[in-house]
Amino acid sequence: MNSHILNCIRSIHFFPKARAWEGSTSLQIPQLALSISGVLEMASVTITNILEKMTGKDKDYRYMATSDLLNELSKETFKVESDLEIKLSNTVLQQLDDAAGDVSEDRVLEMVDKLCSRLLHGKDQHRDVASIALKTIVAEVSNMSVAQRVIVTLSPQLVKGITSPGMSTEIKCECLDILCDVLHRFGNLMASDHQTLLASLLSQLGASQASVRKKSISCLASLASSLSDDLLAKATIEVVHLLQNKGLKPEMTRTNIQMIGALSRSVGYRFGPHLSDCIPLLIGYCKNASEVDEELREYSLQALESFMLRCPRDITMYCDVILNLSLEYLSYDPNFTDNMEEDTDYEFQEEDEDDDSTDEYSDDEDISWKVRRAAAKCLSAIIVSRPEMLSKLYACPKLIERFKEREENVKMDVFNAFIELLRQTGNVTKVPKIVRSLNRQLREKSIKTKVGAFSVLKELVVVLPNCLDDHIGSLVPGIEKALNDKSSTSNLKIEALTFTRLVMSSHSPSVFHPHINSLSSPVLAAVSERYYKVTAEALRVCGELVRVVRPSFEVCAFDFKPYVHPIYNAILGRLANQDQDQEVKECAISCMGLVVSTFGDNLQTELSTCLPLLVDRMGNEITRLTAVKAFSIIACSPLKIDLSCVLEHVFAELTAFLRKANRALRQASLGTLNSLIVAYGDRISSSIYEVIIAELSTLISDSDLHMTALALELCCTMMANRKSSQNVGFAVRTKVLPQALILVRSSLLQGQALQALQCFFEALVCSANTSFDTLLDSLLSSAKPSPQSGGLAKQALYSVAQCVAVLCLAAGDRKCDITVGMLMDILKDDSSTNSAKQHLALLCLGEIGRRRDLSSHANVENIVIESFQSPFEEIKSAASYALGNIAVGNLSKYLPFILDQIDNQQKKQYLLLHSLKEVIARQTVDITGQAELEDRNVEKILKLLFTHCESEEEGVRNVVAECLGKIALIEPKKLIPALKMRTSSTTAFTRATVVIAVKYSIVERPEKIDEFLYPSISSFLMLIKDDDRHVRRAAVLALSTAAHNKPNLIKGLLPELLPLLYDQTVVKQEMIRTVDLGPFKHVVDDGLELRKAAFECVDTLLDSCLDQVNPSSFIVPYLKSGLDDHYDVKMPCHLILSKLAEKCPSAVLAVLDSLVDPLEKTINHKPKQDAVKQEVDRNEDMIRSALRAIASLNHIRCSES
């Protein structure tokens, strides 16, 4: 019964003495909780009836039943059976949520007062119950007005219990515990009491009892988070003053250092202004503490670790000192001297381990390990929080040296610090030394040590693939022992297997061949392990083992055959077993797929056993996706595995899967069908093809372009198969073609789906005996405007034109020439007013001309250029596009024509430059095109382009810049100096154009321009401080492109560029002007685009050059200013804030308060009542963007501080 009493007390809010028929139902419940403590007698039937009424619908019945139960519980003769006792307790707890009423505030205060009296003056046996009850009240009170009154009653009593001289240590500790809970929940409501509480708690730091001091530290930390800056400063100054007192007892000094660390952990960045007072003292105590006072050093290092993580801005000047201190104490071990030569490599002698372990140093009183652990954690904090220091961080050798740490907990922290260093830097030079050190750890008896060593090795392989080529032999014994040793835990085996899998997948197979025998036995044994996670990981290793054993299907020096059947048998046992975890089933299926595809020629007799098992797994909803992928792997095998025993069944299952709702299953089924038809198409009947085609027609839609591409590719594969019959072609024309003609009209069509559609039309002409004329008419008709939807989108017309071009080329020269003639006739027909028809004709000519020389068609270029006179802009643009693409088909004839036209036709220059841009862009894609362009008219092109650098029209300048940038990729030796020379031009437009040209020349793939651009890039990017805003914006855009595509080009310049870039994010009043429009005035901000570009550049730099950026100096004032700027600027700023919250949380927390106002203003902003829909939508987008940023802030660990 006593346990139920305690449960009731913990589950209810309050429990005053019972008053019959006073208050409401909820008031009676706490009274019951106090009265259940008596053991009384009552008939079970009566109790059951009362409980039924307590759960009835009528609140009056519930109230009376509750009162009756209260009376029965008050009787001394009450007694109840154990089953009914549980039901009784549950009902009482359930009634706490009764909506009929709540406990009155006065009764709450009465309960608190009486509980405090029992806590401070009651008997010892009642103190625990009173303490638990008060903690429950504090935890459960949700009404702020009630909480305020509870605090007024409770706080003075607790302070009295803490500070009164006659109180016992136990009472003080209970009071401090309760006060800590109160401050944690309601610290902000106690502002008037903060000074009193602070004085009371600070006085307890000098208490003689360690438990009181410890709980006082927790209380002060809870209080600090709600203190004002002045009171926080007062508390810090007092603690610092105590630390400055050298005559203080050692235990008091330790307490004060702990207090400093607790304050910084509690208030975070707010502690920053006090670092200059604290850090020198802590460093001094660290260095000058006596050898017996290890805890003093430990607490000092823990406080410094907290400073590093929570005060990133203010601690910058102390980082080097703290780093040196951490490295010094990482090896602090005054009671033990290690004379082992670090680089000596010991042979692995299992029989000597027991003898060696008895000689290890052991001293239970030695706590110097705590200092080393604190130093390791402090070093880890530096690595995580100061990415800009990693380039000069020389901790790597020291950390490797400390792998020999004799205390296991410290060793784990050293491993973790080294893993963080690997992740942050992505580079390590002392791999041999690391491997030797870790090999020693793998020989240790400690399971935890071995797990830690494998964790480091895993990270090493992930960060530096192929780094262990020369060390596999030395690591194999450690792997073997981890898997074979009877004392090995499942966790160790999983770590060893995971490392083995990673190292096999990232290294050349040949380095493992000498060790396959040693590795395969323990791995195959692990497949039979009982724990499913070990089994699953062992099966994944088997998959890698298969690739390693037979890396190619050509003749290999390594004999793989002895390993085929052992691997097969081990996997078959798991594949055949139905009663096992899903993860194991999936791994067994995948692994068997690899085994069959790699060793199938050596498993001829076994195929009839394993293939039906794989088919059976296709029938299971849980494993069917994995089984489909396994058959795809088998189908792609060059061994041409004999699948005759299951082929028809597999096709039937895969075709059925195309109707399933599971998207991943449909995609995998399409891919597998494609592979199977390529490999086994001659064994499949045309009726199966027709069924598949019928299913494919439902998958072709612009709602899922990836699925559409796969479906069209499968169609092409079936049409290309030599056994493809007339029926298959008919099925494609009747079921798939209509869907393809609908798809080609979609404005969303692009990429892989567009390429697949082009291949589909080509295959229709070549393979399916479809009439070219019919297809061409269908395509051209699909581009006609419809009465319902109007004309096609621009992108859809381009798609139709590309399909027409592919169709013409597939049909042969005669059909192609006829089609070109027809298109030219459309353009010649002056009486035609159908602009859509002319538009499509131009695009089709351009696409055909790009793929085929049209010089045999007289005057095609003149016919196209006549369309430059069209009144429709889309016709002009299409004509420009067509002329450029026709020139690609025959540069020698058409490029001089375009250049002459640019010189002679001033009014058509913009369109002709676009044609030239098409030529240059198409020719620079491949080596052949580059060579052809180099030989023809490059000098003339450059002269013409540089002439137009100064054009007043921004569109012309942009086209010129793009052309120059593309040519620079071909002729960097000539172009880069010419562009660099023009950075000092007196014309701002010229300077802006050459910088944009450089932007277009910085592409993601490696190019020969890189070696010429690297020494000259600063000349272009330093134009960020140009006087003209257009030039500055061009430089910012170029910097952003370089940061995205080739960050190594600009990393060395960032210390100089970043302040200049940040300056472009500031609102400059001189760039804001007012335009008088007569009835009203309009404010124009000429710097808006520049600020937006600058913030977007910072966003890019955070992705590619985070180690060069100091986020603390950027967030305030620049990001803060951007969050309160124009809509176009706020959006990238919200993205930057989200990114910083993820990558540099400490820097964000340090200035979080200053970011609240602009974010709050954004989410509370309301557009004007007469705002148009576009403004309303923009405002909603901005609010959503701000909320996403706030959500990112909420995910920061320790954000409550």
Stated pTM of the model: 0.77
Band of residue 832 on the pLDDT scale cut at 50, 70, 90 = low
Would the pLDDT of 347 be above 50? no
Contacts 24+ apart (CB under 8 A), 137-142: 137/13, 137/14, 137/108, 137/111, 137/112, 138/178, 138/181, 138/182, 138/185, 138/186, 139/181, 139/185, 140/13, 141/13, 141/108
* Calpha distance 1201→311 (Å, rounded): 12
By mean pLDDT, which of 713-722, 834-843, 925-934 is the weakest?
925-934
Alpha-carbon distance of 469 to 503, in angstroms, equals 9
Q: For position 96, what pLDDT does the model report?
A: 55
List, in order, residues 6 or more apart from 202 with CB less than 8 Å away: 220, 235, 238, 239
Return the structure tokens found at 836. Answer: 């859509």
Buried b (16+ CB within 10 A) or exposed e, 479-511: bbbbbebeebbebbbbbbbbbbbbbbeebebeb
pLDDT surpasses 70 at 649: yes
Contacts for 214 with CB less than 8 Å, ≥ 6 apart? none
CA distance 202 to 220: 8
Q: How far apart are CA 29 and CA 93, in angstroms?
A: 8
Mean pLDDT confidence for 630-634: 95
Q: Of 1002, 984, 928, 989, which Cα lies nearest the Cα of 957?
A: 989
pLDDT at 1029 over 80: yes
Q: What is the pLDDT of residue 395?
A: 54
pLDDT at 608: 92
DSSP for 256-314 reads: HHHHHHHHHHHHGGGGGGGHHHHHHHHHHHHHHS-TT-HHHHHHHHHHHHHHHHH-TTT
Residues 46, 131 contacting (CB under 8 angstroms): no
Could you report the per-residue pLDDT of 257-297, keeping only the tens digit for each? 999 999 999 888 789 899 999 999 999 998 888 777 889 99
Q: What is the pLDDT of residues 699-740, one digit of tens each?
A: 999 999 999 999 999 999 988 875 556 778 888 889 999 999
Burial of 1055 per CB tally in 10 Å (0-12, 13-18, 19+): exposed
> 477 CB contacts (<8 Å, ≥6 apart)?
348, 442, 518
For residue range 236-260, list pLDDT tens digits in order. Answer: 999 999 998 888 888 999 999 999 9
Predicted local confidence at residue 101, as pLDDT: 47
Label the pairing between strands 1081-1085 and 1072-1076.
Answer: antiparallel
Q: Which helix (H) or strand (E) holds 544?
A: helix 532-549
Spatial separation of the C-alpha atoms in residues 1160 and 1152, rounded to whole Å:
12
Cα–Cα nearest to 1190, from 1148, 1143, 1138, 1149: 1138
The overall average pLDDT reported for the chain is 85
Nearest CA to 453 out of 490, 405, 396 is that of 405
Q: What pLDDT does 93 receive? A: 64
In three-state secondary structure terms, 1072 is strand
CA distances to 72, 522, 781, 789, 790 from 786, in Å? 85, 69, 10, 6, 5
Closest Cα partner for 782 from 729, 716, 738, 822? 738
Q: Which residue bears the tokens 């159908």?
A: 834
The least confident of 3-7, 51-55, 435-439, 600-604 is 3-7
pLDDT at residue 136 greater than cutoff 70: yes
Say if residue 929's pLDDT is above 60. Answer: no
Reference 793, options 783, 781, 780; nearest CA is 783
| 27 has a pLDDT exceeding 50 | no
Flag whether pLDDT at 936 surpasses 70.
no
Alpha carbon 555 to its chain's center: 43
- Nearby residues of 394 by Cβ (< 8 Å), 6 or more positions away: none
φ and ψ at 120, to 5 degrees?
-85, -30
Half-sphere exposure of 757 (CA within 13 A, CB side): 33
pLDDT grade, residue 22 (50/70/90)? very low
Residue 272, pLDDT score: 87
Angle ∠(509,514,519) on CA atoms, nearest 5 = 80
What tokens appear for 1172 in the block? 């148009």
- CA angle centred on 862, ends 859 and 863, rounded to 5°: 85
Of the pLDDT bands very low, low, confident and very high (cuts 50, 70, 90), residue 3 is very low
* CA dihedral angle for residue 1008, residue 1012, residue 1016, residue 1021, rounded to 10 degrees: -10
Q: How far apart are CA 313 and CA 300, in angstroms?
A: 20
Token digits of residue 875: 């016709």
**Residue of 99 and 504 predicted with greater confidence:** 504
Whether 786 has a pLDDT exceeding 90, the answer reads: no
